[in-house]
Amino acid sequence: MTRSRRQAVARPRRQRHTAALLGTVLFLVLAASGAAHAAWTTAASPATGSVTSGSISIAQSGFDQLNFDYSASSLVTTKPVTVSNGAVPSTYALTLAGTSATAGLAGAITVTTWPVASTAHCTSSTTLPGSETVRTWTSGTTLTGSVAADSSVVYCVRTSISSPIPAAYGGGHVAARLDLTAAVGTNWKAAPVTVAVAQTVPDTTAPTAPTGLTSSSTTDAATTLAWTAATDNVGIASYRVYRDTVLVRSVVAGTTFTDTGLNVGTTYSYTVDALDAAGNSSAMSSAVTATTSQSPSSTSWYRVKSGGLCVTGSTNANGPVTVQVCNESLTTQLWRYDLVNPSNYLITSQAAAGLAWQRTTTAAVVMATRNVSDSSQQWGGTLSGNGLYQFVMQVNRNKTECITVPSYTAGTALQTQSCSAGSAQQFTLTAAN
């Protein structure tokens, strides 16, 4: 058989083709930068041969720039939002909507969107085209379209609130988000992902002033204040209490406060103001006065001060009584007043209970063994001013002397001298317990 004959009678061989199974995967990633990204790929067939892989990516950028704080001088913000595509044509949907808000605020913020040629065409001075979409955070806005391969679409987004901003919105906020979805044809869609922003309205409304300020339960060392609560458009965060115009407590929960550590026989003036969470302060309340007891208690220990120094006693009999730098840990600076007759006290030390102040024949003041019958240990207390005491000794029928600080130098010993109105004979008594 010739070669040509063999070719003529040969039966054609059937070729087999293995069909390729194409799988598609669509996924969406939100990067830490705030850009949303969707990608779709075709997977290679496990059978003999291959399918060229393709991918599509959808990303957004710019929405996070809509974080904004409104104010009376800043009522509008305008930012571009860009949708960028990868190598495969795709469709997209962007939804802008509020997710939570202070009552009424989401509906009071207008959200205006329109397409622009580039981000450079979206600024605060950009004029509206007349075809813009106007919604609110409550009603939401959905932007849809398709993007060619390796191209992008830019939207200008402008949010605004009317002026004047209602006080009811003060301190309010809107949580808003952008939802991005992407699709390839009609069969594959990416699950939406979100980029969140927050827009706020500052609270600039001050609370009302507290009213009805009173003082009660005043002792030789403390007084209790009470007042009627202030009101505020958002809420009261705290109160501040002032004694003689000086702040004594910066944060007070509730509407009462007990001020302690006061001086004996002293009149104080108190006022209170209110603060809200934004730091707005009210006007001051009306003032109220409180006067501590004029006589020290026989059950309390006191610090005795003059010229910023504290009276300090020796723990030894006949040791001096001096003025020293105040130290709250020293019991030698704590004194108790024991009434021995209607007008006189024995003044004893916590550090040496058996010793008391005594005037010597040389007019020195020393610590001596306690003796209630010894007139040289009996001291009268006389108010010489608001909270200022003189310690008076009836030396004899015709002579009265007062304890004196000869020099305001630590270590100076006390003496008695003829009574006068000078500051060297004026002392304050402050309860230590």
Instruction: For residues 34 and 157, state if they share a domain.
Output: yes
Instruction: For residues 58 and 127, state if they share a domain.
Output: yes
Confidence of residue 183 (pLDDT cuts 50, 70, 90): confident
Amino acid present at 206: A
pLDDT digits 0-9 by tens, 96-135: 999 999 989 999 999 999 999 999 999 999 999 999 999 9
Instruction: For residues 307 and 390, state if they share a domain.
Output: yes
Say if 216 falls within a structural domain. Answer: yes
Residue 51 has pLDDT above 50, yes or no: no
Residue 49 has pLDDT above 60, yes or no: no
Q: Among candidates 235, 273, 277, which has minimal Cα distance to 257? A: 273
CB burial of 176-209 (b: ≥16 within 10 Å; e: otherwise) equals: bbbbbbbbbeeeebbebbebebebbbbbebbbeb
Q: Among candidates 299, 324, 318, which has minimal Cα distance to 356? A: 318
pTM above 0.85, yes or no: no
The number of folded domains in the chain is: 3
pLDDT digits 0-9 by tens, 241-282: 999 999 999 888 899 999 999 999 999 999 999 999 999 999
Say if 6 falls within a structural domain. Answer: no
Instruction: For residues 282 and 306, state if they share a domain.
Output: no
Query: What mean pLDDT is predicted for residues 391-405?
Result: 91
Q: Among candidates 68, 67, 71, 102, which has minimal Cα distance to 205? A: 71
Higher pLDDT, 234 or 433: 234
Say if 47 falls within a structural domain. Answer: no
| CA–CA dist 423, 149 (Å, integer) | 91
Instruction: For residues 250 and 344, state if they share a domain.
Output: no
Residue 9 has pLDDT above 50, yes or no: no
Instruction: For residues 260 and 344, state if they share a domain.
Output: no
Choose the final residue of a domain: 232, 256, 291.
291
Residue 428 has pLDDT above 50, yes or no: yes
Confidence of residue 191 (pLDDT cuts 50, 70, 90): low
Say if 19 falls within a structural domain. Answer: no
Average of per-residue pLDDT values in the chain: 87
What is the reported pLDDT for 74? 95
Confidence of residue 38 (pLDDT cuts 50, 70, 90): very low
Q: What is the four-CA torsion angle of 251, 256, 261, 263, rounded to 10 degrees?
A: 120
pLDDT digits 0-9 by tens, 361-380: 999 999 999 999 999 999 99
* Chain CA centroid to CA 328, Å: 32
Instruction: For residues 170 and 30, state if they share a domain.
Output: yes
Q: How far apart are the first and last CA of the chain?
A: 132
What is the reported pLDDT for 194? 82
Task: Give the least confident one: 27-36, 132-141, 179-188, 420-429.
Answer: 27-36
Query: What mean pLDDT is predicted for residues 423-427?
Result: 97
What is the reported pLDDT for 343? 87
Which CATH number do you get for residue 368? 2.80.10.50
Instruction: For residues 221 and 265, state if they share a domain.
Output: yes
Say if 113 falls within a structural domain. Answer: yes
pLDDT digits 0-9 by tens, 199-251: 999 999 999 999 999 999 999 999 999 999 999 988 999 999 999 999 999 88
What is the reported pLDDT for 190? 62
Rounded to the nearest 5 degrees, what angle is found at the Cα of 427, between the Cα atoms of 346 and 395? 50
Instruction: For residues 80 and 106, state if they share a domain.
Output: yes
Instruction: For residues 245 and 373, state if they share a domain.
Output: no
Choose the final residue of a domain: 271, 291, 311.
291
Choose the final residue of a domain: 175, 200, 225.
200
Which CATH number do you get for residue 276? 2.60.40.10
Instruction: For residues 185 and 286, state if they share a domain.
Output: no
Residue 397 belongs to domain spanning: 302-431
Instruction: For residues 373 and 311, state if they share a domain.
Output: yes
Higher pLDDT, 140 or 399: 140
Count of CB atoms situated within 10 Å of the CB of 357: 26
What is the reported pLDDT for 181? 84
Confidence of residue 56 (pLDDT cuts 50, 70, 90): low
Residue 119 in tokens? 């981000």
Within 13 Å and on the Cβ side, how many CA atoms surround 252?
Answer: 23
Say if 205 falls within a structural domain. Answer: no
